[in-house]
Chains A and B, each alone.
Chain A
Amino acid sequence: MRRLSNRAFTHAALIVVGAAVLVPVIWVIAAGFRTQISLLTGEFLFTPVMSNFAEVLFSKTSDFLVNYRNSLIVGIASTVLCLTIATLAAWSLARLDWPRWVVHVFLGWALLFQMLPPLALASAWYTLVRSIGLQNSFAGLILAHTVLNLPMALWLMGVFVREVPLELEEAARIDGASTAVLLRHIILPLVAPGLAACAILTFVFSWNEFAVALNLTMKQTATVPVAIAKFAQDFEIRYTQMAAAAALSILPALVLLLIGQRFIVRGLTQGAIK
C-alpha cells in the first residue's frame, strides 16, 4: 500500500512539472490564434482566428518567410560544414598518431573557446567577413555558427569515433583500403547514429543562436530569432503576432523532438558521462 501511494506521489509530482513546462508553450501558441482584444480581456474560451499567422507569413510588411528560409540555409550549411570538419578531425586525432601535445593543445583551445562570450567575437568576425567582401551574404554567419558549434561537435564525435572497433579499421587497412575508403565505408556507417545526434543539436543551436546573428545579419539575411526580437522592440508591440511568430519558430524543434528524441538525449548526455 505504501509503495502504491509512493508511486502515485511520484507520478503526481512529475505531472505537475510537466504541466509547468507545457502550459506556457501551449498558452503562447493559443495566443497566436487569438485576436488582440481576446488576449487583452483574458477570456478563457475564444474563437480561434488565423489572421495573426496570415499576417506574419504573408503580409507585405513581414519578412518572416524570408527569415525562415535564411535560418534554414544557415542552419543546414553550418551543420554540414561543422560535422564534416569535426568528424574528420575527431577521427584523425583519435586514430592517427599525432603527438600528444598537439591533441591536448588543440582540444584545450577548443574547450576554452567554448567559454568565450560569442558576442565578443562578433565584431572581429564582421571585420573579417567585410574585408573579403561577403558582408551581405550568409557566409559570415554560416562560418560563425560552424566555429561556435565545432568544440561540441569535436567532443561528441570524438566519443563516437572511439567506439568504432579498432580491429575493423586494421582489417580494412590490411585489405589495402585508403584513408578515404576507410572513412567512407567503415567509419561513416558506424558513427551514423552519433552523427545524427550531433547533427540535430548543431542544427538546433544554430537555429536558436541570436547574439551573433543580431550583429552579423542585415535586413535581407536576418534569421528567425532576429526577426522575433524585432517584434518586441516595435513601438507598439503586436502581441498576438509575436505569439504566432514564436509558435512558428519552435516548429523545427518540435518536429526534431518527435522524430529524434533518442538522438537528442544521446547527444546531450554523451559528453557528460564519458
Chain B
Amino acid sequence: MKQAGALSRWATFGPALFVMLALGALPLANLVYTSFHTVTWSGGQATFSWAGLAHYRALPADPLLRAGFFNTIVFAVFAVGGQMLLGFTLALLCSRVRRGRVLYRALFILPILIPGIVIGAIWKLMLNFDFGLINQITDLAGIEARNWLGDKETALASVIAVDIWHWTPFCFLLLLAGLESLPQDPYEAAKIDGASWWQELRYITLPLMAPAIMVTFAFRLVIAFKVFDEIYLLTGGGPGTATEVLSFTLYQRFFTEDRAGYGSAMAIAIIFLCSLLLVAALSVRRRPETAA
C-alpha cells in the first residue's frame, strides 16, 4: 500500500495529540505544580508561594479526607458488588428468554442515560420523609417511616441503593453482551453429559465469562470512585460525614474552601490511589488466563 505522506499523518493524528496534551496533560502538570504551593488570592491575582511537601503531609490527618476515604471504600465495595451480582443474575435470566429480550433491554438501559444529578433529584423525591413513595410503601407494609437520607444510620445505605439502581443496568448490559457472544458447543456437550444448571454455571459460564466480568468490574470501580453528582444532590456528604466520599471532599477543600494548593495535593493523592486500584484489579484479571 502506498504510504500516506507525513502531512496526512500529522493532519489526522495531530488534533487528538494536541487535545490530549493541551487539555489533558497540561492541566495535570499544572495540578502537580500547584500541589507544591500555597495559592493566595488578592485583588484578582493569584500568588504562588512554595510549600514543599507540606500539603501532602497534612493529608493523612484531614478528618474529612479520612471519612471520605473510608466511605468511598464501603460505597465502592457494596455498590459495585451489588450491581455485579444483580446485573449478572439479570443477564442470565434475560439470556434465557427469547421473546421480549429487546424490550427488557431497552427498559433496563434507561437509568444509564439519565443525568446523575437527575437520578439524585428523582431519589430525593422518592426518599422524602413526608411524601416519598418509599415511605408510602413501607407505611403500607406496617414499617415505620424513616428519614432515609437524613439519618446517620441509613444515609450511606440509601446512597448505595440509589447507585445500585443507577448502574446495575450498565453491568447487566455488558454482561448480557458477553453471554450472547459465548460459544454454544460447551453447553451442548454439557447437556449430553446431563449437567445440572448449577454445574453449567460453575464450570462453563463463569470461566468463559471471567474476562467480561473483570472488564465490567474495572469499569464500574473506576466510576464508583468518581461518584459525585448523586451525592451532591441527595445528601451533600451529610448528615455529618455519613456520606462524605472522596470526590466530594475534593470539591469542598478545592472549590468551596478555595484551597487550591491543598486541593491539588489531594487530587494527586486520589489519582495515585485510583491508579493503584486499577492496576490491582487488572492484575487479578490476568490470573485466570495464565491458569487456563
Binding between chains A and B: yes
Asked if A120 and B118 make an inter-chain contact with CB atoms under 8 angstroms apart, the answer reads no
Q: Is the pair B106, A17 in contact by a Cβ cutoff of 8 Å?
A: no
Q: How far is the CA of A170 from the CA of B1 in the complex (A)?
A: 6
* Interface contact A207-B115, CB-CB below 8 Å: yes
CA distance A243 to B228 in the complex (A): 20
A245 to B24: give the CA distance in the assembly, Å. Answer: 33
Is B85 an interface residue, CB under 8 A from the partner? no
Write out the residue numbers on chain B whose beta carbons fall within 8 Å of the beta carbon of A39.
131
What are 22 inter-chain pairs, A to B, with CB distance below 8 A?
A: A14-B97, A17-B108, A18-B108, A24-B133, A28-B121, A28-B126, A40-B130, A85-B19, A89-B15, A92-B13, A117-B250, A119-B251, A120-B250, A123-B254, A124-B27, A154-B16, A173-B1, A228-B117, A231-B121, A232-B121, A272-B174, A272-B215
Interface size on B, residues (CB 8 A): 91
Known: A225-B118, A228-B118, A269-B173. A211 touches B23 (CB 8 A): no
Whether a CB of chain B sits under 8 angstroms from the CB of A50 is no
Chain A, residues 150-178, CB within 8 Å of chain B (1/0): the string is 10001000000000000001100110001
Residues of A within 8 Å of B26, CB to CB, are 124, 128
**8 smallest beta-carbon distances between A and B, as pairs:** A124-B27, A89-B16, A120-B267, A269-B177, A92-B12, A179-B8, A253-B113, A208-B115
Return the CB mask of B253-285 against A: 1 if under 8 Å, else 0.
011000010011001001100110010000000
Q: Which residues of B have CB within 8 Å of A192?
A: none
A198 to B289, CA, bound (A): 30
Point out the residues of chain B lying under 8 angstroms from A207, CB to CB.
115
Contacts of A121 in B (CB 8 A): 27-28, 31
Interface, chain A (partner B; CB < 8 A): 7, 10-11, 13-14, 17-18, 20-25, 27-28, 31, 39-42, 84-86, 88-89, 91-93, 96-98, 106, 109-110, 112-125, 127-128, 143-144, 146-147, 150, 154, 169-170, 173-174, 178-180, 183, 204, 207-208, 210-211, 215, 224-225, 228-229, 231-232, 239, 242-243, 245-246, 249-250, 253-254, 256-257, 261, 264-265, 268-269, 272-273
From B25, B93, B225, name the one whose CB has the most chain A CB atoms within 10 angstroms.
Answer: B93
* Dominant secondary structure of chain A at its interface with chain B: helix
Please tell me which one of the listed residues B30, B114, B215 contacts residue A253 in the complex, with CB atoms under 8 A apart. B114
Task: Give the tally of cross-chain contacts (CB within 8 A).
Answer: 265
Q: Are B109 and A265 in contact (CB under 8 A)?
A: yes
Q: Is the CB of B19 within 8 A of A147?
A: yes
